[in-house]
A and B are shown apart, each in its own frame.
Chain A
Amino acid sequence: MTSLTAKDKNTVKAFWAKISPNATAIGADALGRMLVVYPQTKTYFAHWKDLSPGSAPIKKHGATVMGGVADAVAKIDNLTAGLLNLSELHAFTLRVDPANFKILAHNILVVLAITFPNDFTPEVHVAMDKFLSAVALALSEKYR
C-alpha cells in the first residue's frame, strides 16, 4: 500500500493549489497525449467522433478526469473511502484495466513538467507520483 507521508500530502496540496487554475488544460493535454503515445488506450473511446489532441470530447473528458483528481486532493487523508463511488464506476461500468491508470498518470506528470518546468522539481515529482499511484490504488479497490 502506497503510504503518503505528511510531507507528501503537504507537497501535493501546495503544488495542486498552484496548478489548479490550469487543471482543465492539463487534463485535456494529458489525455490527448495518452491516446497518441499509447494507442491501445483508444479502445476505451471508440464511441468518440474525434480522438485527435485538442478535440471537444478530449477537452470535456480531460476536465472530468481532473475534477476527480481535485476531489482526491481534497480527500487525500482517506482516498479509499473518498473515491469509493469512482472506484465502483471504473470497476463495474467502465471496466478500465487498472494498468491504464499508470499510463494516464505518466502523461499527467509529463504535462506538469511541460507546464511548470521550474516548479516540478524532483521532490514535487516524487510526491505527485506517489499520490497518483495512491489514487490509482483507491480506484482499483472495487475491481475484485
Chain B
Amino acid sequence: MVEWTEQERNIITSIFSSLDYDDVGPKALSRCLIVYPWTQRYFASFGNLYNADAIKTNPNIQAHGTRVLHGLDRAVKNMDNIKDTYAELSVLHSEKLHVDPDNFRLLADCLTIVIAAKMGSGFTPEMQATFQKFLAVVVSALGRQYH
C-alpha cells in the first residue's frame, strides 16, 4: 500500500492541474521516440517516424501522447488505489499491445524532463522526488499484470 503525505498529494495535483495535456503529452511521447528510438517498434502503424521532425509533427503521435496523459490523470484522481485503477490497462499493455514494461520507465523519464523544462527552477528537488515517486508507482502498476 503506497503511503502519500498531504504535501505529496498537493504536489501531484498542483503539477497536473498546471499542465496542458495536449502540449505535454505529445512532447513527452515524441521525446521518448527520439531519445530511445527502439520504442518506435510499437508505433509501426503510425506513419512517418523517419526522423525527429517527422516524429514531432506526426498527428498520430500527438493524439497518442495526449491519450497517455489522460491515462495518467486517472492515477492522479485515484492516488490511493493506482494498482487497481490500472489493472485493466496493465492487461492491455501486456496481452494486446505487447509492450516491454521497461519502456514505461523510459517514457516516465522523458515526461520528467518535459515537466522540468516547463516548470524551470519551480521544479524543486522535493517536487522532482514526489513526481518521480508518483511515476514509479504508475510504472509498477502498469507492469503488474504481466506474466
Residues from chain A with Cβ under 8 Å of B118 in the complex: 117
Q: Given that A110-B113, A122-B31, A126-B34 are contacting pairs, would A37 and B120 also be in contact in the complex, using a CB cutoff of 8 Å?
A: no
Contact A37:B34 (CB < 8 A) given known A109-B113, A114-B120, A120-B117: no
Q: Interface residue count for B (Cβ, 8 Å)?
A: 22
B52 to A122, Cβ gap below 8 A?
yes
CB distance from B85 to the nearest CB of A (A): 24
Q: Mark B112-125, 1 if CB is under 8 A from A, else 0.
A: 11101111110101
A-B contact count (CB 8 A): 50
Taking the complex as formed, is A36 at the interface, i.e. its CB lies under 8 A from any CB of chain B? yes
B89-125, CB under 8 A of A: which get 1 and which 0?
0000000000000000000010011101111110101
Q: Which of A4-37 contact B (CB under 8 A)?
A: 32-33, 36-37
Q: Is the CB of A114 within 8 A of B129?
A: no
Query: What is the distance, in angstroms, from B34's C-beta to the closest C-beta of chain A?
Result: 4
Return chain B residues, CB-CB under 8 Å to A53: 125
A122 nearest in chain B by CB position = B34
Contact B128 A33 (CB under 8 A): yes
In the complex, the answer to whether B31 meets A125 with C-beta atoms within 8 Å is yes
B122 to chain A, nearest CB (A): 9
The CA-CA distance from A113 to B111 in the complex, in Å, is: 11
**Minimal Cβ-Cβ distance residue in A for B118:** A117
A114 contacts B116, C-beta separation under 8 Å: yes
Residues of B within 8 A of A33 (CB): 125, 128
Least CB separation from B112: chain A residue: A110
In the complex the two chains form, is A36's CB within 8 Å of B125's CB?
yes
Which residue of B has the minimal Cβ distance to A130? B35
Give every chain B residue within 8 A of A129 (Cβ-Cβ): 35
Question: Are B125 and A32 within 8 A (Cβ)?
Answer: yes
- Binary contact readout A53-75 vs B (1 if CB under 8 angstroms, 0 otherwise): 10000000000000000000000
| A64 nearest CB across to chain B (Å) | 20
8 Å CB interface, B112-144 against A = 112-114, 116-121, 123, 125-126, 128-129, 132
* CB pair A123 B116 closer than 8 Å: no
Residues of B within 8 A of A (CB): 30-31, 34-35, 52, 56, 109, 112-114, 116-121, 123, 125-126, 128-129, 132
Interface CB pairs A-B, < 8 A, 10: A32-B125, A36-B125, A37-B125, A37-B129, A37-B132, A53-B125, A122-B30, A122-B34, A122-B35, A123-B34
Other 17 A-B pairs with CB < 8 A, given A36-B125, A110-B123, A125-B35: A32-B125, A36-B126, A36-B129, A37-B125, A37-B129, A106-B109, A109-B113, A110-B112, A111-B116, A113-B114, A113-B116, A114-B116, A114-B121, A122-B30, A122-B34, A122-B56, A123-B52
